[in-house]
Amino acid sequence: MTEMPPIEVLVTEDELMARIEELADALAPSLQGDWSAVSILIGATPFTSDLMKALARRDIHPVLDVIWLESYRDARESSGRVVVRADLGRSVEGRGVLLLDDVFDTGRTLAFAKAHLLAKGARQVITCALTQKPWAPRGEDGVDFCAFDSPGRYLVGYGMDDAGKYRGLPYIGALD
Ligand SMILES: O=P(O)(O)OC[C@H]1O[C@H](OP(=O)(O)OP(=O)(O)O)[C@H](O)[C@@H]1O
Ligand code: HPA
């Protein structure tokens, strides 16, 4: 077994759960009626799971779909190119979509996914990230909802990986 490198805990599991409940409260008014939620694989999986449960507790039940996008693979820097490894399973034509991702870094992945959904006829896209880096776009190109501002460090845990590892950690940590 290889030894785990030092990982500094930035956001504990309890803090994550509490903030996701607050996020569900903030999102709830926008999600009335028939909405879809699209989770960007792989990293957004734990966040999506916990947010969907928090929304269900508020009697909000979006149609859940996924899109598998990849631009980092095993690197700690974006390749600059977003690849669609698997597309949506359902039509978003005329629908409002809550688009979920784990980390908003260069902003490339969410911008690509949003444009993709709008090109497929989504009537509205609300973007939501678990965390954003200090240099991530703000304002018009920023994310609509974000749970945590993170430092400019390489993050792992709660879906985020280093070459595929550490996605299962129940907290957000920094590896560098
Ligand atoms: O804002 P950006 O610079 O685009 O970075 C954010 C994206 O990078 C990671 O995806 P990755 O390509 O590593 O795939 P993964 O979800 O499988 O980890 C992460 O899950 C986000 O989707
Ligand atoms: O800090 C990060 N950690 C893991 N995956 C990422 N994808 C973009 N930034 C990050």
What total number of domains does the chain contain? 1
Instruction: Name the residue at shortest CA distance from atom 5 of ligand 2.
Output: 160
Q: What is the pLDDT of residues 12-55, one digit of tens each?
A: 999 999 999 999 999 999 999 999 999 999 999 999 999 999 99
| Identified catalytic residue from 105, 141, 149, 162 | 105
Tell me if 129 is assigned to some domain: yes
Q: Look at residue 176 and tell me whether its pLDDT is greater than 90.
A: no
Nearest Cα residue to 50 out of 150, 145, 158, 126: 158
The phi-psi region of residue 59 (left if phi > 0; otherwise alpha if psi is between -120 and 50; otherwise beta) is left
Tell me if 88 is assigned to some domain: yes
Give this complex's ipTM: 0.99
Q: Judge if pTM exceeds 0.95.
A: yes
Asked about 34 being catalytic, the answer comes back as: no
Tell me if 2 is assigned to some domain: no
Find the domain containing 137 and state its range.
8-71+82-175
The CATH number for 27's domain is 3.40.50.2020
Tell me if 3 is assigned to some domain: no
d(CA 68, CA 84): 6
Q: What is the pLDDT of residues 109-119, one digit of tens each?
A: 999 999 999 99
* Ligand 1 nearest-atom number relative to CA 112: 4
pLDDT band at 4 (very low <50, low <70, confident <90, very high): confident
Backbone angles phi, psi at 13, to 5 degrees: -60, -40
Q: How far from the centroid of its chain's Cα atoms is residue 102's Cα?
A: 3
Tell me if 140 is assigned to some domain: yes
Tell me if 77 is assigned to some domain: no
